[in-house]
Structure 1
């Protein structure tokens, strides 16, 4: 086995690749647009129905819909851009600029999507108080003028705080019913702690989920280590998911450890295949939790999970310490890392190593054009290396917690059931 050290000093951004195919934009919206005399009735109907609006596919496919995003402009509105997650290329921002219905305050943008699509989205509104369109700094300035959709009440907490982000789901998209609190489901508890770490050189905030007491609880609890813990709890309320899965018997009672990523800079520093971070998880966090709960030491009953850079780190933790982490749940993992020399480093390490006693459960969004080429090469590498039990799947969405919620539920159910 040839193992090289992870690269250091790599750029803190993904590869800057143009979208390989054009967005399936439609010229005609999914609704009739009003003239000046019909605006009051039009916006009242939009408020009642909620946005975005959907209509039949103009090409006649029952598996697609026309999806129209709407914004109500004001007297000074010069331009509006809508950015559904990964349905737009930052290198070609003009493609997401909405059109204004002549003589009205209606701005619209319509795209053809398969009926299993879901995603979060933002508007960016130019009210005439910045550089003119065409100015070299215009697009960068516009991205600072984010607005939420006032006609959509479906929201998701935003990463790193701020106003919740609007989300949309077409009829056949997976539903996140497992995330809704259920009064009849016994509830576990979540406690917040600060864990000292020699490897990280400080204390790290961690949330500890303790499952509800039940006769079915094993003597030693399986363990889930879920990275980016500050967003999964309290932001997204992952405890409700665990409560429901346990109550339904879909997973056994499990303890969950959710370490804080602190901030974007710390996240880039620690979640890029850093041995000291894995040492924190293995040598400090798990033993600390073991003094509070009866945790298993069996790697086959231990899951490490993460998204984006967290997905990369989950796989790296199992690669470096398969004797402790026997299950990887990586969602939209950044397996392209690093951007530049040594690209797809972890995939190369797995290709040159003997098969490890690790199960992989991987999922990626079909709209993630930057991540997908590396993801598919990882899938091929695992197959060639004999990981016959590895699961790889793609969903119709982007780099998005809205999608990752249901994918997390499915992955935990698969990995925490008895082999």
Structure 2
């Protein structure tokens, strides 16, 4: 299998520094310790166990923000430093603001930020026996820099918050993450199975691709009561190893169908395989598009009578998958008429191409019969401007574009809830 070289990201813009804060509860702990009160630490950790982590406290005279305190309890090791890796809140470009502070003489490590009440995100900790001191990248933000490699290494060393039971699974050997959400974060009501909702079925298959020259695993979702006599709408959901396995989307689809917000549909979820293969396939790769259009959809239609109407076909993806969803509509509008992109990697271009390569392609092409839903996180300081630019280009060309932003980052913790919003918006035009 040939794998194209990973494209070079655009010059890296440093992340805007997060707004740090002082936790009233940690300040009270420090005062109690200074006054020599007994059982202070035991009471503090008992309170934390009851409230859960991170600690969320009100900001005086500000109903829209909270002080969010991430806590690490030292297990008695030789920990010299603890880093917080919080999605699009911390970053290697603001490393000093990622370091937790230790309450002297205690097992309490902490770092507080002032965040809007609508925020949701995932995070991890890295506990180190030696202080971390690595380059944060060259002055051009080159992703091949030592700083980038070191930051990736930290990601492999990271671990979820042991005090927070809410977890987000990962893949390819990466550690799971913890999930935090503030009181005004948008609800995610469709995620969990409901006892009164009939369940569809998810199965795994192997589909051979002549375009790719290899077999590809594919997860499929069939709605409850699937009838071989109907032509079902079809959803192609990229990164199927996440949605078919690690973060099963079946409950979301079951609930939306039961509520009448989606018609019964068939979902096809191809495996991303591994990171190099994913970079190849989801980087506007014509053979992968050929696999989806010429092989996967006909394979499914032969078995389950999925529609061949592009107006009732959705292709959806996140990050590079979001880029691929738009590319599929541009190159194969006769098959993909509904495009759903969450945090699409619209900085991508062929080697040497402009960073708004895809937007230029849409601007230069005739207007196509496409309906589009775009989403980005307000904290994605590189992707959000690129997504807004693409939205404006598409609207100027007369496309029907739904656009949404979530208060978060490049994060499955956000995507798994707002995927439903995008699907419902696109299905509103189906008959």
TM-score (norm 1): 0.92
Structure-1 residue corresponding to 2:183: 171
Question: How many residues in Structure 1 have an aligned counterpart in Structure 2?
Answer: 405
Q: Which of 8, 13, 32 in structure 2 is aligned with 1:17?
A: 13
* 1:92 CA drift (Å): 2.7
Cα RMSD over matched residues?
2.1
Distance in 2 (CA, whole Å) between partners of 1:158 and 1:15 is 27
Answer whether contact 2:8 2:351 (CA < 8 A) is retained: no
Answer whether contact 1:306 1:313 (CA < 8 A) is retained: yes
CA gap 1:314/1:144 in 2 versus in 1, 3 angstroms: closer
Structure-1 residue corresponding to 2:202: 190
Structure-2 residue corresponding to 1:372: 384
- What pairs up with 1:13-412 in 2 under 5 angstroms? 13=9, 15-19=11-15, 21-31=16-26, 32-34=28-30, 35=33, 37=38, 38-58=40-60, 60-73=61-74, 74-128=76-130, 132-134=131-133, 140=151, 142-213=154-225, 219-338=230-349, 341-342=352-353, 343-387=355-399, 389-412=400-423
1:185 is paired with a residue whose SS is: coil
1:310 is paired with a residue whose SS is: helix
Distance in 2 (CA, whole Å) between partners of 1:79 and 1:225 is 44
Structure-2 residue corresponding to 1:4: none
2:194 is paired with a residue whose SS is: coil
Distance in 2 (CA, whole Å) between partners of 1:357 and 1:402 is 32
Distance in 1 (CA, whole Å) between partners of 2:379 and 2:343 is 11
* 1:118 CA drift (Å): 0.3
TM-score (norm 2): 0.89
* 1:147 CA drift (Å): 2.1
Distance in 2 (CA, whole Å) between partners of 1:12 and 1:155 is 31
CA gap 1:293/1:339 in 2 versus in 1, 3 angstroms: closer
Answer whether contact 1:15 1:370 (CA < 8 A) is retained: no
Deviations 1:232-270 (A, max 9, x none): 111111011111111111100000000000000000011
* 1:161 CA drift (Å): 4.6
Answer whether contact 1:250 1:413 (CA < 8 A) is retained: yes
**Which ranges in structure 2 are unaligned for 5 or more consecutive residues?**
136-145
Structure-1 residue corresponding to 2:139: none
Deviations 1:281-329 (A, max 9, x none): 0000000001111111110000000000000001100100001000000
Structure-2 residue corresponding to 1:3: none
